[in-house]
Amino acid sequence: MHTPKDSRTVMTDLVLPSETNPLNNLFGGELLARMDRAASIAARRHSRRIVVTASVNHVAFNRSVPVGSVVTVEAAVSRAFKTSMEIFIDVWIEDRFSGEKTKANEAIYTFVAVDDTGKPTEVPALIPETDLEVERFEAALRRKQLSLVLAGKLKPKDATELKAIFIDK
């Protein structure tokens, strides 16, 4: 049995001046790269395969991250499909004085497990445990369908679970 806990990957690092924008806040592309790294380790821990980033489904840069901040990127598989995995990434910054962590950003990436030739290969199922994990697991199919529709890989009429959220009950 594989749970999100088994894939959880936590990476903590400083924000250096060379990684900032002209406002001395963390450059968005640097944060995307940090999240990609943590997410790829989480996907690898779940699948024990080579994994590649298939899509970045959602990124919210809710708070800027000043130079000198201690940033923690926490990634875990939120759902496994046949060959793809959704990875949820939470980003925290640590208060310099109290050490208290505040959520700064979040993102959702899709990774695909591949064999040595780059061909997609099956991954184990994931069983969510906590309420938050169940919530993320249940919404993941809608997000997969949205991502595939936007990529032109799924017809909107076939995105059944996604369409259902727009229908008044």
140 binding ligand COA? (CB under 6 A)? no
Closest alpha carbon to 126 in 46, 40, 41: 46
- What is the spatial distance between Cα 155 and Cα 105, in angstroms, rounded to a whole number? 31
Q: Which is nearer to ligand COA, 70 or 127 (CB)?
A: 127
List alpha helices for the chain, DSSP H: 4-7, 28-47, 131-150, 160-164
User: Quick one: which of 25, 104, 147, 162 contacts ligand COA (CB under 6 A)?
Assistant: 147
Number of residues that bind ligand COA (CB under 6 A): 18
How far, in Å, CA of 32 to CA of 107, rounded?
9
Q: Write each residue from 16 to 55 as x if it is in contact with ligand COA (CB under 6 A), else as -, in one continuous string.
A: ------------------------------------xxxx
Q: What's the min distance (Å) between Cβ of 86 and ligand COA?
A: 8
Q: Which of 151, 156, 160, 164 binds ligand COA (CB under 6 A)?
A: 151
Task: Provide Rg for the chain, Cα atoms.
Answer: 17
